[in-house]
Amino acid sequence: MGKKATGCGTILSLDESGGTTYTPVSNIANVTPPSPGERTQVSAPELDTCIDDPELGMKGPRTFAFTQYWEPGDTDHERLDTMYDANTMGGWQIEYPHGPYGVSQPKQTFNGKVQSIGNTQTGPNDTFQRDVVILVNGTITTVPGADA
């Protein structure tokens, strides 16, 4: 039977210059990791059979999303705003808590741009939050980490 793990301890980090000097992004409520992507369908109708048997084409755009407890004016939060405004590429890393702590955690690294920043609904007893979507660019590198 496979091992189960919670998301507690997941660390999202960013290098705004697109390098590998990652600094954790603070106040993350949840993360939706990037998927391998979905391939587009290419229409390939055949005249002799009158059947359109589509072929699989290129992989479509991939995104990565997270929700952040938002503190307006916080310098850590403003770096995402700056990347969005400047349309710059950054280096992203998600470190998962599924290995021996501090030894060899599984992680994914990739480059991406801030595609959108949207505020969530806030009520009298709610914290300010915002949803951030990153458009993944290029390869997603996955390092499996050590087996616990």
Task: Tell me the H-state helices in 23-125.
Answer: 75-86
Residue 3 pLDDT level (bands cut at 50, 70, 90): low
| 41 or 79, which is more confident | 79
Q: What angle do CA 118, 119, 124 make, to 5 degrees?
A: 170
- pLDDT above 70 as % of the chain: 89
| Model confidence pLDDT, tens digit, residues 43-84 | 877 777 777 778 888 888 899 999 999 888 888 889 999 999
4 pLDDT more than 80 = no
What per-residue confidence (pLDDT) applies to 91? Answer: 96
- C-alpha distances (whole Å) from 138 to each of 4, 96, 133, 146 are 30, 21, 16, 25
What per-residue confidence (pLDDT) applies to 100? Answer: 57
Compute the average pLDDT of residues 7-31.
89
Compute the average pLDDT of residues 90-109.
79
Q: Report d(CA 7, CA 27) in Å as an integer.
A: 14
- pTM beyond 0.85, yes or no: no
| Model confidence pLDDT, tens digit, residues 105-130 | 788 999 999 999 998 777 888 888 99
133 pLDDT more than 80 = yes
Contact assessment for residue 71 and residue 78, using Cβ atoms and an 8 Å cutoff: no
